């Protein structure tokens, strides 16, 4: 008669608990990965609403803070930038020149959002390039997280009068005419 | 008298040692070590997974400069970290704040370790004290400490003893 060891397994309740824990953990990791990789905004989607507190000295219609949804009916150009970003330096003057073209009519609003920048450096950058359109810090990186901006700076979002995203520009603008072409198309809609 | 001189001398030495540091704490530029003490507990969102104290990017260099500036203003470590949380969000902290969903980061690992230890202990215990089964039949076996088994083991031990 041969003899072999009998393996006394882990109790059923412990097995269930272990599997539930592993499954729960995998679900959490999976959800996190899906969330991290899914683009939260795309062309055609409604631009997520946010509030922006402007840097000292900047106002929009006399207010030092604004809400994106209050700008419905206007074309909005949202530019994410940082003082440490060299391509942002390249396009700073171009954006300012474009803003000066559209500012008098009041149909287009430019918004600059400083991303993961320090306040003194942001202010120095704005002063250096003579930026006059409303600018503010992305406090708590809340705005950039809404727009799933993890690719870098600069990035610019063009929002139509209906509040939907019409164009996303990754990287700097080459010329004022490039910006003009995009805005004029949106104004004509 | 000599003892008094010694005490006074010691006091002067202590003051001389601490006075310059105390006087310059407000005005002097904080050292890299001071900055890095705080920086190593922060992460810049631009270069995730790299602590601020060793991150080579320009963005992180500016953050460190901001820390230096705030230290020079006399801000405490806690105040500086709170500033960064307010400005860039809690994600910049190396250690997530103990609230809400973040509790999972603190609770899951110890629970899993405890669970793993429990399973390991159980498995080892069963391994050390195995049961006995009859192969093939699938029927239950007499327990290992039965008379028959004991007799068999005893005979085996005796045989082994004789051969030595």
> Residue B42 is part of a domain; what is its CATH number?
1.10.8.640
Please tell me whether residues B113 and B70 are part of one structural domain.
Answer: no
In a domain, B81, yes or no: yes
- Does B130 map to a domain? yes
Residue A2 confidence (pLDDT)? 45
Q: Look up tokens 């097995």; give the residue.
A: A15
- Chain A residues with CB inside 8 Å of B62's CB? 83-84, 117-118, 121
Q: Return the residue of A nearest to B62 by Cα.
A: A118
The answer to whether residues B75 and B90 belong to one domain is yes
Residues B112 and B81 in one domain: no
Beta bridge partners of A53: A65
Both B78 and B122 in one domain: the answer is no
Contact across the interface for B119 and A10, Cβ inside 8 Å: yes
The reply to whether B35 and B83 lie within a common domain is yes
Contact A116 B88 (CB under 8 A): yes
Task: Tell me: do B76 and B118 sit in the same domain.
Answer: no
Question: A-chain residues within 8 Å CB-CB of B126?
Answer: 7-8
Whether residues B83 and B118 share a domain: the answer is: no
The answer to whether residue A37 neighbours chain B at the CB level (below 8 Å) is no
d(CA B123, CA B104): 28
| Number of domains within chain B | 2
Chain B residues whose CB is inside 8 A of the A4 CB are 132-133, 135
Average pLDDT, chain B: 79
Q: Is residue B46 part of a domain?
A: yes
Q: Provide ipTM, 2 decimals.
A: 0.74
Would the CB atoms of A28 and B65 count as touching at under 8 Å? no
pLDDT band at B11 (very low <50, low <70, confident <90, very high): low
The answer to whether residue B156 sits within a structural domain is yes
Option in B65, B112, B132 nearest A21 (CB): B112
pTM for the predicted model, two decimal places: 0.70
Domain membership of residue B139 as a residue range = 101-163
Final residue belonging to a domain, choices B64, B79, B95 = B95
Model confidence pLDDT, tens digit, residues A159-169? 999 999 999 99
For residues B156 and B128, membership in a common domain is answered with yes
Q: Is residue B119 part of a domain?
A: yes
Strands (E), chain A: 3-6, 51-53, 65-67, 75-81, 108-114, 135-137, 155-159, 165-170
In a domain, B10, yes or no: no
User: Is residue B31 domain-shared with residue B91, that is, in the same domain?
Assistant: yes
**Inter-chain touch A5–B130, beta carbons under 8 Å:** yes
Task: State whether B105 and B87 are in the same domain.
Answer: no
User: Does B19 map to a domain?
Assistant: no
Q: Name the residue of chain A whose CA is nearest to B141's CA.
A: A3
For residue B13, give Cα distances in angstroms to B16, B24, B55, B74. 5, 18, 41, 27
CB A149 within 8 A of CB A155: yes
The arithmetic mean of pLDDT across residues B26-36, rounded, is 84
- Mark which residues 28-47 of B lie under 8 Å from A by CB: 44-46
Q: Does B84 share its domain with B51?
A: yes
Contacts of A8 in chain B (CB under 8 A): 126, 131
Judge whether B9 lies within some domain. Answer: no
pLDDT digits (tens, 9 = 90+) for B101-156: 888 888 888 988 998 898 888 888 888 876 555 444 545 555 555 666 788 888 88
């Amino acid at each position: 008669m041969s003899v072999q060891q009998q393996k006394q397994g882990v109790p059923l309740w412990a097995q269930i608990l272990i599997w539930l824990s592993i499954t729960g953990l995998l679900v959490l990791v999976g959800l996190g990965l899906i969330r991290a990789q899914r683009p939260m905004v795309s062309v055609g989607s409604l631009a997520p609403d946010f509030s922006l507190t402007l840097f000292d000295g900047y106002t929009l219609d006399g207010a030092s803070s604004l809400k994106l949804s209050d700008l419905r009916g206007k074309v909005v150009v949202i530019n994410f930038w940082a003082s440490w970003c060299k391509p942002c330096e390249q396009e700073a003057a171009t954006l300012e020149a474009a803003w000066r073209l559209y500012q008098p009519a009041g149909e287009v609003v430019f918004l600059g959002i400083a991303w993961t920048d320090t306040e003194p450096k942001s202010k120095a950058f704005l002063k250096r390039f003579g930026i006059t359109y409303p600018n503010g810090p992305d406090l708590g990186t809340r705005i950039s997280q809404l727009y799933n901006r993890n690719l870098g700076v600069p990035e610019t979002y063009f929002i139509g009068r209906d509040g939907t995203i019409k164009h996303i520009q990754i990287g700097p603008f080459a010329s004022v005419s490039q910006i003009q072409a995009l805005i004029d198309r949106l104004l004509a809609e | 008298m000599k003892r008094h001189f010694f005490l006074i001398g010691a006091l002067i030495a202590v003051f001389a040692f601490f006075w310059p540091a105390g006087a310059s704490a407000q005005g002097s530029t904080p050292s890299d070590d001071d900055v890095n003490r705080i920086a190593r507990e922060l992460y810049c969102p631009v270069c995730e997974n790299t602590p601020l104290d060793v991150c080579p990017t320009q963005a992180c260099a500016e953050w460190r400069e901001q820390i230096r500036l705030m230290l020079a203003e006399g801000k405490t470590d806690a105040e500086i970290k709170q500033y960064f949380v307010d400005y860039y969000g809690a994600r910049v902290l190396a250690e997530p704040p103990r609230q809400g969903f973040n509790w999972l980061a603190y609770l899951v690992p110890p629970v899993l370790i405890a669970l793993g230890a429990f399973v390991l202990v159980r498995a080892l215990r069963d391994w050390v004290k195995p049961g006995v089964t009859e192969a093939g039949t699938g029927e239950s076996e007499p327990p290992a400490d039965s008379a028959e088994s004991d007799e068999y083991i005893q005979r085996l031990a005796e045989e082994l003893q004789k051969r030595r």
